[in-house]
């Protein structure tokens, strides 16, 4: 643990928030079109309609906000999933979120020739929700109800099934493949502000919800039996977690497509910084997730300029060395 | 009287226990696999009855039938069978030594490494007209090299006074995410024609298998599966966790290394010839566990045949259902396997 007591954690949290805000501004300033910090200020105070100001308002600002919102949501839902399944390999993907959304989008493209990002938002949100409901129902049938093991297995099976259908459609239909390849890699580029504002209410509910249940997650992480013995309604908590994961991970995939790496990695990284107390873990993970995605997105613009690298690719490239370093040092979480 | 029957041939010099239920399950699975093998050989543009197929196997049948069966269908079906076995056994071993139900050849980055190798192979050896400058025959080698290099890298990075399961798997996840990222990057930056060709490979297909492939793949896989069967008792011990395994006298580091080597070899061989067929390595062992319990002596052979059945069936459906389109086998492994697995989850309520 890097931060050992609550005082240090509080300071750490402020520093992290400060870095986050700095990166959000940097994300607005740096990119293919040359802009300066002064121009950004002007764009908001007295917009003169110049090219740069329009780009800042309609392209860079939504992009920066989206990267922060999506990164944070994915990291938080990753924390919840890893605690729920008691598996360090779990991620929102295990609930079938990405596979369901991907399948829904590919289905819409091949069968109904839907082609714009706006429509993708709701279609993928729907797909993610359906997948989570399927995984949840299948794994909670039977006497003992929802066990981490059954959830993990059912989730992995359902995700694999959706992913295989998606692959199938893409192999048959090469035109669709071309169209959704970029979406399937995950990106925060080219999204309009409306896409964010449409989904934002769900994300905010998810963020608040995850903070509300954070102390209960601490009890839950001691094991189901202990948690029940201490008077926790575990069945209710599991449903809450499922709903929050749908809101956060489903919302993220709706905005940015499947971005996989953050949901697994950031929880581990965060645990090595603040320990296993969910009341700190969840907000920290949210901020660190946002930071990683912002950094990745800024770098994605510079690698092969003027083209862009999908941000999902970039998060893995930046995050992996860091993650391996922490994995070698040893997670002191367990 | 009990679940087991013991054998003591050679005056008790050799003795072993046989799990009765597992034996029955295994025999049933072998029969199903055999039936699918024969049926699959008979299906296709030119239909043959199972009887005719058997006739060809034993030297009879017309010249035309023999040609179709021997040069077109048999190699790919044998490759499907062997690949299914290899992946399932490798997955079973990995789940045992890593002690995580989500472990599979994919999470260790093996498939990812092979994918990157293949995509780069397609990208770097193409000229302006999208024609390959070197023979496509080198692709399996590229895939195999990719898988092995990544396996070594993961093991090397996870080494710190020995490797612990959790470190292997987390570093494996990191590396495989990186590999996936690189694959996507190459596919997006390269020509779209190459991307969709690579996508077919990544999905996994046994299309275009030849006797040459069979001649390499079969001995390779069989050798390592046999070695794996001899190490079953060590997997059982490793599954108890490091402390107990050391306590009962297992050489955990040596065995873990050997078993990882075996699974890498198995996966490397199968990705080389059939691409990244998913799901089998992850789910076949779980299906087997639901059928015969988690002792690896029974688990490995049963999951091997479940894997073989899955891939053969997936290939059969892929090449007949949407004819003349050919769907890669990797698409259907999960399509067939997942519903059956979910049924098993339902049926065996507590496990």
Chain A within 8 Å of B322 (Cβ-Cβ)?
Answer: yes
A226 touches chain B (CB under 8 A): no
Q: How many domains does chain B have?
A: 1
Q: Closest partner residue to B327 among A160, A168, A178, by Cβ?
A: A168
CB spacing of A87 vs B101 below 8 angstroms: yes
User: Does a cis peptide bond (omega within 30 degrees of 0) precede residue B303?
Assistant: no
String of DSSP letters for B82-146: HHHHHHHHHHHHHHHHHT-TT--TTTTTHHHHHHHHHHHHHHHTB-TTS-BSS-GGGHHHHHHHH
Chain B interface mutation, best of A148, A161, A257, A266, highest count of B Cβ atoms under 10 Å: A161
Q: Would you call A167 an interface residue with chain B, using a CB distance cutoff of 8 Å?
A: yes
Instruction: Give the whole-angstrom CA distance, residue B85 versus residue B308.
Output: 5
Per the CB < 8 A criterion, the answer to whether A199 and A255 are in contact is: yes
Three-state secondary structure of B5-18: EEECCHHHCCCEEE
**pLDDT computed for residue A175 by the predictor:** 72
Contacts of A167 in chain B (CB under 8 A): 199, 203, 328, 330-331
The model's pLDDT over B80-129, given as tens digits with 9 standing for 90+, comes to 999 999 999 999 998 888 887 778 887 788 888 888 888 888 777 766 66
Kind and range of the H or E element at B4? strand B4-7
Q: How do the pLDDT tens digits run along chain A, 334 residues long?
A: 777 788 888 898 999 999 999 999 888 888 777 777 777 777 777 777 777 788 888 888 899 999 999 999 999 999 999 998 888 878 888 888 888 998 998 888 888 877 677 788 888 889 999 999 998 888 887 667 778 878 888 888 888 888 888 878 877 777 777 777 777 777 887 788 888 888 899 999 999 999 999 999 999 988 888 988 998 888 899 899 999 999 999 999 888 888 878 888 899 889 888 888 999 999 999 999 999 999 999 988 887 777 778 888 888 888 888 888 877 776 544 4
B84 to A27, A266, B211, B221: CA distances (angstroms): 47, 35, 17, 11
- φ/ψ of B50, rounded to 5, equals -50, -35
Taking the CA of residue A3 and the nearest CA in chain B, the distance in Å comes to 23
Q: Does B161 touch chain A (CB under 8 A)?
A: no
Mean pLDDT in residue range B48-61: 79
Q: pLDDT tens-digit profile of A254-285?
A: 888 888 788 888 998 898 888 889 999 999 99
- Judge if ipTM > 0.90: no
Q: For B251-284, b where at least 16 C-beta lie within 10 A, e where not — what string?
A: ebeebbbbbbbbbbbbbbbbbbbbbbbbbbbbbb
Contacts of A138 in chain B (CB under 8 A): 342, 345-346
Name beta bridge partners: B7.
B16
Query: Per the CB < 8 Å rule, is A164 touching B334?
Result: yes
Question: A298-303: long-range contacts (C-beta < 8 A, 24 or more apart)?
Answer: A298/A23, A298/A26, A298/A27, A298/A30, A298/A31, A300/A189, A301/A30, A301/A31, A301/A32, A302/A30
CA-to-CA distance for A63 and B329, rounded, in angstroms?
39
Task: Looking at the complex, report in whole angstroms how far the Cα of residue A37 sits from the nearest Cα belonging to chain B.
Answer: 31
DSSP A33: S
The CATH number for B173's domain is 1.10.3470.10
C-alpha distance from residue B144 to each of B88, B111, B132, B196 (Å): 18, 10, 19, 21
Please give the Cα distance from B228 to B91 (Å, whole number): 12
Question: Is the pLDDT assigned to residue B351 strictly greater than 50?
Answer: no
Tokens, residue B217: 């793949």
Place of tokens 């949840």: A136
B347 close to A (CB below 8 A): no
Peptide bond just before B71 cis, omega within 30 deg: no
Measured distance CA(A316)–CA(A327) in Å, rounded: 15
Q: Which residues 171-190 of chain B have a CB within 8 Å of chain A?
A: 171, 173-175, 177-178, 180-182, 184-185, 187-189
Nearest Cα of chain B lies from the Cα of A310 at a distance, in angstroms, of 8
Residue spans per domain, chain A = 6-329
Contacts of A266 in chain B (CB under 8 A): none
DSSP tag of A276: S
pLDDT in tens, B296-321: 888 899 999 999 999 999 999 888 88
Chain B, residues 256-275, CB within 8 A of chain A, namely: none
CB contact under 8 A, A88 and B169: yes
Average pLDDT score, chain B = 82
* CB within 8 Å: A171 and B200: yes
Q: Which residues, 6+ apart, have CB-to-CB distance to B25 below 8 Å? A: B291, B292, B298, B302
Task: Tell me the CA distances in angstroms from B259 to A160, A279, A312, one per residue in order.
Answer: 26, 41, 33
* φ, ψ (nearest 5 deg) of residue A125: -60, -45
Q: Which of chain A's residues have a Cβ under 8 Å away from the Cβ of B306?
A: none
Q: B192 to chain A: which residues are within 8 Å by CB?
A: 178
Contact across the interface for A152 and B102, Cβ inside 8 Å: yes
Q: Is domain A6-329 given the CATH code 1.10.287.180 in the classification?
A: no
Q: Which residues in chain A touch residue B282, judged by CB atoms under 8 angstroms apart?
A: 156, 160
Are B188 and A319 inside 8 Å of each other by CB? Answer: no
Can you tell me the distance from the alpha carbon of B1 to that of A183, in angstroms, rounded to the nearest whole number? 60
Domain span at B100: 4-347
Q: Which residues of A touch B278 (CB under 8 A)?
A: 160, 163-164
Q: With contacts defined as CB-CB under 8 Å, which chain B residues touch A160?
A: 278-279, 282-283, 334, 337-338
Size of interface A-B (CB pairs under 8 A): 164
């Amino acid at each position: 643990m890097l931060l050992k007591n609550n005082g240090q954690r509080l300071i750490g949290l402020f520093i992290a928030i400060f870095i986050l805000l700095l990166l959000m501004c940097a994300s607005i300033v740096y990119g293919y079109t040359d802009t300066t910090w002064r121009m950004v200020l002007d764009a908001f105070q007295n917009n003169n309609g110049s090219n740069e100001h329009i780009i800042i308002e309609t392209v860079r600002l939504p992009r920066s906000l989206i990267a922060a919102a999506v990164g944070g949501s994915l990291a938080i839902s990753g924390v919840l999933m890893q605690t729920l399944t008691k598996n360090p390999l779990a991620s929102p993907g295990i609930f079938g979120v990405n596979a369901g959304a991907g399948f829904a989008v590919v289905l819409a493209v091949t069968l109904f020739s839907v082609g714009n990002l706006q429509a993708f938002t709701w279609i993928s949100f729907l797909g993610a929700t359906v997948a989570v409901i399927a995984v949840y129902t299948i794994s909670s049938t039977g006497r003992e109800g929802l066990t981490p093991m059954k959830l993990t297995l059912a989730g992995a099976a359902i995700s694999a099934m959706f992913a295989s259908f998606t692959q199938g459609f893409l192999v048959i239909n090469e035109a669709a493949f071309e169209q959704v390849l970029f979406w399937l890699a995950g990106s925060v580029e080219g999204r309009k502000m409306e896409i964010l504002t449409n989904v934002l209410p769900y994300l905010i509910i998810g963020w608040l919800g995850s903070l509300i249940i954070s102390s209960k997650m601490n009890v839950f992480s001691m094991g189901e039996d202990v948690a029940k013995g201490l008077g926790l309604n575990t069945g209710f908590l599991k449903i809450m977690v499922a709903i929050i994961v749908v809101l956060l991970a489903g919302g993220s995939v709706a905005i940015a497509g499947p971005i996989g790496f953050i949901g697994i990695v950031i929880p581990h990284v965060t645990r090595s910084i603040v320990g296993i107390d969910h009341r700190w873990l969840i907000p920290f993970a949210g901020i660190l997730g946002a930071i990683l995605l912002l950094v990745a997105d800024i770098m994605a613009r510079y690698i092969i300029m003027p083209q862009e690298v999908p941000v999902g690719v970039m998060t893995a490239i930046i995050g992996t060395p860091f993650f391996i370093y922490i994995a070698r040092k040893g997670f002191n979480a367990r | 009287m009990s679940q087991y029957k013991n054998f003591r041939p050679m005056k008790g010099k050799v003795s072993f226990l046989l799990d009765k239920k597992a034996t029955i399950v295994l025999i049933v699975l072998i029969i199903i696999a055999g039936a699918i093998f024969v049926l699959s050989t008979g299906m296709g543009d030119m239909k043959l009855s199972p009887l005719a197929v058997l006739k060809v196997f034993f030297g009879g049948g017309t010249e035309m039938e023999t040609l179709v069966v021997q040069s077109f269908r048999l190699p790919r079906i044998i490759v499907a069978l062997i690949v299914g076995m290899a992946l399932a056994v490798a997955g079973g071993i990995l789940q045992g030594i890593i002690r995580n139900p989500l472990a599979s050849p994919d999470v260790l980055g093996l498939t990812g490494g092979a994918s990157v190798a293949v995509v780069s192979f397609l990208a770097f050896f193409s000229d302006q007209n999208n024609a390959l400058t070197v023979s496509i025959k080198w692709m399996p080698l590229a895939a195999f090299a990719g898988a092995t290099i990544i396996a070594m890298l993961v093991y090397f990075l996870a080494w710190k006074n020995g490797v612990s399961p959790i470190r292997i798997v987390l570093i494996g996840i990191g590396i495989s995410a990186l590999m996936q990222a690189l694959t996507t990057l190459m596919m997006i930056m390269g020509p779209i024609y190459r991307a969709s060709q690579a996508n077919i490979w990544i999905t996994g297909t046994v299309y275009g298998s030849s006797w040459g492939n069979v001649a390499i793949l079969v001995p390779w896989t069989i050798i390592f599966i046999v070695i794996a069967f001899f190490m079953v008792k060590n997997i059982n011990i490793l599954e108890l966790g490091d402390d107990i395994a050391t306590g009962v006298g297992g050489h955990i580091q040596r065995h873990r290394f050997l078993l990882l080597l075996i699974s890498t070899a198995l996966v490397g061989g199968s990705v080389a010839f059939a691409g990244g067929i998913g799901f089998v390595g992850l789910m076949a062992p779980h299906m087997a566990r639901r059928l015969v319990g988690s002792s690896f002596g029974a688990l490995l052979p049963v999951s091997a045949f479940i894997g073989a059945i899955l891939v053969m069936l997936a290939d059969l459906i892929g090449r007949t259902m949407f004819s003349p389109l050919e769907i890669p086998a990797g698409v259907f492994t999960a399509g067939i396997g997942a519903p059956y697995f979910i049924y098993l989850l339902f049926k065996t309520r507590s496990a």
